[in-house]
Structure 1
Amino acid sequence: MLNRPYDGPLCRAFRGDLARVLVWFEHYQNEVVSRAGLRLVCAKGCRYCCFHWPEDVYSFEGEIAARTIVEQSPERVNEIAAAFRDDEREMERLDEIMGRKLGESTEGAQLSEEDRVELLLASYYRLERPCALLNPDGTCSIYSVRPLSCRIYLNFSDPFFCVPDHVDESDVRTYLLDLEEEASELLDLLHERFVRYKGITGLRPLLARLLESR
């Protein structure tokens, strides 16, 4: 994909190649789970993963998702963009509160940036703010083109443990099964080729901007 002269992330050639990457990724996940002797309990209509704040979304994933929304649900574009803007404001409010609280304690002030981000994302999850792309039946309205960041959440225990109030319990078996590092680095290069909003990699704020620009 890196060496092909695409006419942007929305062209047929790029979307076809990306679709194949997603198929390979699904096969990879299935192989890892099978070899580990685990049983996936995730099922259609379970919406708990959609309370997350997906980060590290690639620019081309956002472009394709935004185009899909515009084509499938043109009457909802403004509504979805506004909902994602509300989510962004809530995240900013939460970040400010958390920063103030952490600054009041020695332990909090010593947190690494990575740990701080993980704590912020976990705190947002507990707010149970559903993604604006959820259908009433708990399914994703852009499921076939959802970003890789939305595909990595896996649960091998009871779905009950995906409930935000229980996700930190000791016997929870939920995992993030992502791409191998080398594959991620290749997609990072593609991301840079098509990026329009530098530094915006959260799904919700990225889609808000992409939808507002159409």
Structure 2
Amino acid sequence: MKNSLDSRLPDLPEDTTSQQLGQAIARWLFEISCLPELSNFRTTLQLPHLTRKLYGKVLKAHQRYLQYKLNQLRKHGREPTCKRGCAFCCQFMPSGISALEVIFLYDEMHQQKHFSRTFRRFLERQEVIEEISADYRKREQSPVQKGRSVSEEILLEYRQKRIPCPLLTTDGVCLLYSVRPFVCREYFSCSPPSWCDPSHPHYSQALRIAIPLPEDCQSMLDKIDQLLGLNLPETLSEAFLVFTINVARFKPIVWNC
């Protein structure tokens, strides 16, 4: 399940170049899926160093894909206004996170001196989600808007509380920006940054667009998930907590040569 921010801009066309750039992402993900160590990761907490190298290529290829799409947007007369410190879109809980992404988020965060504090933030965010979920279940007839699941309704209610992502600093900067999930990379605004604030009078008129990961790339991430066999939840907070406590048990990931 993905998060949904209202997109007021038309979908960008899929041309030969964007397809080729998307295929490059899928190719590096395929290389990762061929690593035999994936199936033993849960018990060994070990992966070859090549995994990090290949994932770095995945992220670079994805950045090239995004830049091409954003240039297409500019040709349509729209200039993205997102900038460092603009983090209104970081006030919802990302969903649709893959196990591979969680592994690299955990690895990066485990190397930081603020691991314990950030872990507590994840716990606090998950407690809020569970409180909303419990309250939702208590309602005799909880209205679900057509086209939305109960999980989506719960995350929408969470977003309305405007709680910053546990990885966000007070300056609006992501602690793990270099390995942030794909879903955190796909949203852009072409309106003044202040319009992205839900309390702004022009919020409903803000021009926003989503550039999701190509379907074949998402399919490769799903395949890698199956090979890893971690069966993690979809939301970032719960997936990170389950991985940290039940899989990694707070231990560092070992990268073999």
- Which interval holds the TM-score relative to the shorter structure? 0.7 to 0.9
> Which of 221, 227, 238 is 1:205 aligned to?
238
Which residues of 2 match residues 76-87 of structure 1 at below 5 A? 76-87=114-125
Report the aligned-residue RMSD: 2.5
Match of 2:86 in 1: 46
Alpha-carbon distance in 1 for matches of 2:155, 2:202: 13
Contact 1:65–1:145 (CA under 8 A) maintained in structure 2:
yes
Query: 1:100 deviation in Å?
Result: 4.8
> Which of 58, 65, 73 is 1:36 aligned to?
73
Match of 2:191 in 1: 157
Structure ID, larger Rg: 2
Structure 1 residues 80 and 31: alpha-carbon distance in aligned structure 2, compared to 1, 3 A threshold: same
Where 1:103 maps in the other structure, the secondary structure is: coil
CA distances 1:89-135 after superposition (whole Å, capped 9, x unpaired): 2112223334555815xxx25744x3544333222112121122222
TM-score (norm. length: structure 1): 0.84
Aligned positions, number = 207
Match of 1:143 in 2: 177
Specify the code of the residue in structure 1 equivalent to 2:111. Answer: E
> Which of 57, 68, 89 is 2:127 aligned to?
89
Match of 1:190 in 2: 224
Alpha-carbon distance in 1 for matches of 2:188, 2:140: 30
Alpha-carbon distance in 1 for matches of 2:215, 2:34: 22
Structure 1 residues 98 and 165: alpha-carbon distance in aligned structure 2, compared to 1, 3 A threshold: farther
Contact 2:95–2:236 (CA under 8 A) maintained in structure 1:
yes
Structure 1 residues 211 and 78: alpha-carbon distance in aligned structure 2, compared to 1, 3 A threshold: farther
Match of 2:52 in 1: 15
Structure 1 residues 208 and 87: alpha-carbon distance in aligned structure 2, compared to 1, 3 A threshold: same
2:157 aligned with 1:123 = yes
Alpha-carbon distance in 2 for matches of 1:201, 1:109: 20
Alpha-carbon distance in 2 for matches of 1:47, 1:172: 15
Structure 1 residues 17 and 138: alpha-carbon distance in aligned structure 2, compared to 1, 3 A threshold: same
Specify the code of the residue in structure 1 equivalent to 2:221. Answer: L
Query: 1:58 deviation in Å?
Result: 0.7
Query: 1:157 deviation in Å?
Result: 0.9
Query: 1:166 deviation in Å?
Result: 4.4
Alpha-carbon distance in 2 for matches of 1:81, 1:14: 25
TM-score (norm. length: structure 2): 0.71
- Unaligned 5+ runs, structure 1: none
Where 1:182 maps in the other structure, the secondary structure is: helix
Alpha-carbon distance in 2 for matches of 1:178, 1:166: 26
Match of 1:27 in 2: 64
Specify the code of the residue in structure 2 equivalent to 1:22. Answer: L
Where 2:37 maps in the other structure, the secondary structure is: coil
- My pick for the range that moved more, 9-18 or 32-41, is 9-18
- My pick for the range that moved more, 94-103 or 122-131, is 94-103
Where 2:209 maps in the other structure, the secondary structure is: strand
